[in-house]
Structure formats: C-alpha cells, structure tokens
C-alpha cells in the first residue's frame, strides 16, 4: 500500500498515480464472447447445453436448463432458519426503501393551453445474472430482484451457473424471497446471450442486470442496444474518512471488508493525523492474519491500498470528489458537515456505527453501485432502472394557434417542408 500526505511536495503526482491505477482485468475476451453470443443466437438451447458441459462440467438436456419448483423448495428447506430469518430482515428493508422511491406521474397545463405530461411504466421483463462459485452472493439477488418487483416488473428471470451441478441453497432462498421463480442453471456469456435473444427454453428479456466476470461484462456490452443493461461493474472500492478520535481497529476492519472482495478491490483511508493513520495501518496488519480470505485481502491491500493524510478536512472533500468512490464512510466527528459538501460517491455511510457492510446487507439502499470513478456521472441501482418515462402532449386548436407559428418557422428554417405543412394546415 502507499502513503500520501497533502503536505508533501510530490503529493499531486502520487495521488494522480493512485487515480490512474489499472485495476480492471486486462483479459481480452471480446472475440471469444462474440463467438459465444453468435452461437447462442444460432443454436439456442443446444449451444447452452454445450457450453454448460464445457465450462461447468454439467451435462443437461433442454428440459433441465430451468431449475424446477421442487428442486428450489428442496434447496430452500436445507437453509438454516437463522439464515432465512436474516434474508427476510434484509428483504423487508430493501423492499421498503425501493417502494418509497416510486415516482408520481406528471401533468401540467401551460399558459398557452397545452397540456403536457409524463407517465412512468414498468419494464415487461428483466433478466438477473447471478455469479456462481466463490462470488455467489444471495444479498445481490435481493438487491437486483426486489427493486424490479417494487417497480412492477411482471417477469424476472434469473440465470446462475452451477459448476459440477452444485446449487447454492441460500441463493435460491433469496430468489424465492424476492419473488423469482424462473431460474436457469446457466452462466457466463452464454447466459447473457440467452437472456438477450431468447432460446427455446428461455424467453428474451428487456433489460439485464447483475455482476459477473470479464466474459459476462463483455457479453453485456455486446448485447446492449438489443436489451438494456445496468452497468459494467468493476472491482469494489471504499474510501474511509476518519479523525484521530476514531477507533483504529474499527477503521482497519472496514478497510479490510472491501479488500477481501477480490485482489483488485481498493481500500483508501483519509485521515487528518499521521500518527492515527499509522495506527490504522498497523491494525490492518494485525486483523489481516485472522481473516479467512487473508490472501485475497493482503493482495488487494498491498497492490491498491492507500492512506492519505490531509492538513484540513476541506482538502479531503476535493480528494473524495476526484476519487468518486463506490462506497464512502465518514467516521469522524460531525460527519454531516463533510456529507453536505461531497458531490461524487455511489453510497455514503455516516457515523461510527454505520459501516459500509450494513449497506451490503440490511441497510435498505441498493448495494449495486458505480465503480471505477463512474460515480461522477452514474448512480446506484434503483427502481428507476426498471421504469421508463413516456411523455405526452394534448391541446386544442386555440392552443396550437398560439405556439404553432413558431414551429412552422423553425421547420422551414430546417428545410423540412412536410413538418411545416403538418402544423400550418391546422392553424
């Protein structure tokens, strides 16, 4: 990890290097994904069966691509009661927050007598991609499916790979709790292609959401336009802002909570005291040894971790906005003052008793957030990702007479005679 101080003469060079770190995968998969997408479009279920055998070592027939209701119920029955109860706590909070986001339709009549409006309607269908293996997170099922349900989406189809035929019971339990019953045991670029174009067993959807590996990300990129997508997610990241009155151990564990995601994750401390920053760095080393994912966390911390010491908190605001982090924790005294000044962050957690991990599970707001500094222009997943806006206009002849001549003038200026005539013949 690196140490930076705004008091140092070379700070700007060091901070720019931190901003420009390459954490995304360098794996080139576009040609392979193009071939997979084309194959699924051409051969449908047969291609899905072949790729599942090749990549997941699982032999299927077309009638077993979809996970049956009895299989789902059997898997859910194996989940411990305390885990089901925890899922329910998370689901209730996520549902409540996202239902509160639902917007109202707009209708207004202007001074010229034209009535203008905007109507919100839900998408017809959504496809949810859920990673398998070590990255199978039931919490992500809730975070992706429940906003779609809150928005009023009628059909949510879920694809999850099952390497060697192994199902994750808690993932299926989360799907059932979120109201998803259409679940397919397919993954990778082939699952994205199937959801985008449809096959004999899986009907196409209108939007695809959910994280995945480099192949999934590239497939989402390639099918965009045919369907909508949420985003191209990158490695996770957190910025923790803490003053000398904070507990170094708590700060250290909060940094490690991001580092343990994967080797490309990034954890950054911003502090106003050099001795405190060193105490946090020491606590990171101390806490690291007892983590079950210590090797992953250590690789992340070594390659991408940073501690930045600022002279005053006004400097911190500028650095935060340049980092535009996925997650931002404000742990110092009076976090509201900094909160009011920060413009760019995916989600913000205020105070010593609101760690980012709360937001991952039971906070309520979505944990699907913009990464890689895209919080400068993007937002986290919400009900708005599953709604679309339709504007409408209504007016009588008197209203058209008031605004129509300007339309005729502009149409003629653009050389569009039929446009001009369409309005003029009604005046």
User: Three-state secondary structure along 37-85?
Assistant: HHHHHHHCHHHHHHHHHHHHCCCCCHHHCECCHHHHHHHHHCCCHHHHH
The vertex-270 CA angle with 309 and 368, nearest 5°, equals: 160
Distance CA 275, CA 267 (A): 19
Tokens of 268: 């950054």
Distance CA 271, CA 300 (A): 20
75 close to 169: Cβ distance less than 8 angstroms: yes
Which of 98, 261, 304, 327 is labelled catalytic?
327
Tokens of 110: 């202007």
Distance CA 122, CA 120 (A): 7
Q: Is 327 a catalytic residue?
A: yes
Q: Is 367 a catalytic residue?
A: no
Which of 261, 326, 344, 356 is labelled catalytic?
326
**Helix pair angle (274-288, 294-304), 10° resolution:** 150
Dihedral sign for Cα 69, 64, 138, 189, please: negative
φ/ψ of residue 213, rounded to 5: -80, -170
Tokens of 67: 């996970």
Measured torsion, CA atoms of residues 126, 97, 361, 234, in degrees rounded to the nearest 10: 50
Per DSSP, the three-state class of 157 is: strand
Catalytically annotated residues: 326-327
């Amino acid at each position: 990890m690196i140490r930076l101080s705004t008091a140092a003469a070379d700070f700007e060079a060091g901070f720019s290097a931190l901003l420009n770190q390459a954490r995304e995968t360098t794996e080139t998969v576009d040609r392979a994904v193009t071939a997979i997408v084309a194959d699924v479009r051409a051969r449908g279920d047969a291609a899905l069966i072949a790729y599942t055998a090749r990549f997941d070592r699982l032999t299927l027939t077309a009638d077993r691509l979809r996970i049956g209701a009895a299989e789902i119920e059997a898997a859910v029955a194996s989940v411990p009661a305390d885990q089901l109860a925890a899922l329910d706590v998370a689901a209730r909070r996520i549902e409540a927050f996202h239902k509160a986001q639902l917007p109202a339709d707009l209708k207004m009549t202007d001074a010229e007598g034209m009535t203008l409006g905007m109507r919100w309607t839900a998408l017809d269908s959504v496809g949810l991609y859920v990673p398998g293996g070590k990255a199978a997170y039931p919490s992500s099922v809730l975070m992706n499916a429940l906003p779609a349900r809150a928005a009023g989406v009628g059909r949510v189809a879920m694809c999850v790979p099952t390497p060697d035929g192994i199902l994750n019971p808690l993932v299926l339990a989360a799907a059932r709790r979120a109201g998803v019953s259409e679940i397919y045991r397919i993954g990778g670029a082939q699952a994205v292609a199937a959801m985008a174009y449809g096959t004999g067993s899986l009907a196409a959807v209108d939007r695809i959401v959910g994280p995945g590996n480099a192949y999934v990300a590239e497939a989402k990129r390639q099918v965009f336009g045919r369907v909508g997508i949420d985003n191209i997610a990158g490695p996770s990241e957190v910025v923790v802002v803490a003053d000398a009155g904070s507990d170094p151990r708590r700060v250290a564990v909060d940094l490690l909570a991001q580092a343990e995601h994967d080797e490309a994750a990034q954890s950054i401390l911003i502090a106003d005291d050099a001795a405190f920053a060193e105490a946090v760095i020491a606590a990171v080393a101390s806490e690291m040894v007892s983590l079950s994912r210590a090797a992953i966390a250590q690789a992340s911390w070594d390659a991408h971790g940073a501690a930045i010491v600022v002279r005053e908190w006004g400097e911190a605001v500028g650095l935060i906005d340049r980092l535009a982090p996925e997650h931002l924790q404000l742990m110092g005294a009076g976090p509201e003052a900094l909160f009011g000044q920060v413009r760019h962050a995916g989600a913000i957690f205020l105070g010593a008793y609101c760690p980012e991990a709360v937001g991952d599970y039971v906070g309520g707001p979505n944990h699907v957030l913009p990464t890689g500094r895209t919080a400068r222009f993007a937002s986290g997943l919400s009900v708005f990702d599953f709604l679309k806006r339709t504007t409408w206009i209504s007016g009588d002849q008197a209203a058209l007479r008031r605004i129509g001549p300007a339309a005729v003038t502009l149409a003629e200026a653009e050389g569009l005679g039929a446009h001009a005539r369409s309005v003029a013949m009604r005046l």
